Structures are given as structure tokens and as C-alpha cells.
């Protein structure tokens, strides 16, 4: 495979890669805003 063919395939599917990144970011944001924060701290001397 030539580099030109690889670039053409990547450019053809770039929209799907970008869509997957946007969906993953949106799901992560939604889950993190809906979850109840849990704080835990410990110390030892």
C-alpha cells in the first residue's frame, strides 16, 4: 500500500473518527455531571 492510499482511506473515514470522539466526549461529560461526588481522604503518621 502506498502512503497516498492510506491517506485517502483515512480522509474518507475521518468523519466517523471525529463523530466517535464527539460521542465519547459527550457521554463522558453526561456521566460525570450525573454522578454523585464521593470524597475520601486518609492520612497516616
pLDDT digits (tens, 9 = 90+) for 7-41: 899 889 999 999 999 999 999 999 999 988 888 88
**In angstroms, how far is CA 23 from the centroid of its own chain?**
8
pTM of the model: 0.62
> Three-state DSSP class for 11?
helix
Calpha distance 41→35 (Å, rounded): 19
- Does pLDDT of 6 surpass 80? yes
d(CA 42, CA 28): 28
What are residue 2's phi and psi, to 5 degrees? -85, 160
Amino acid at each position: 500500500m502506498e502512503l497516498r492510499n492510506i491517506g485517502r482511506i483515512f480522509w474518507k473515514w475521518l468523519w466517523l473518527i471525529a463523530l466517535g470522539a464527539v460521542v465519547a466526549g459527550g457521554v463522558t461529560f453526561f456521566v460525570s455531571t450525573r454522578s454523585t461526588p464521593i470524597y475520601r481522604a486518609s492520612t497516616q503518621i
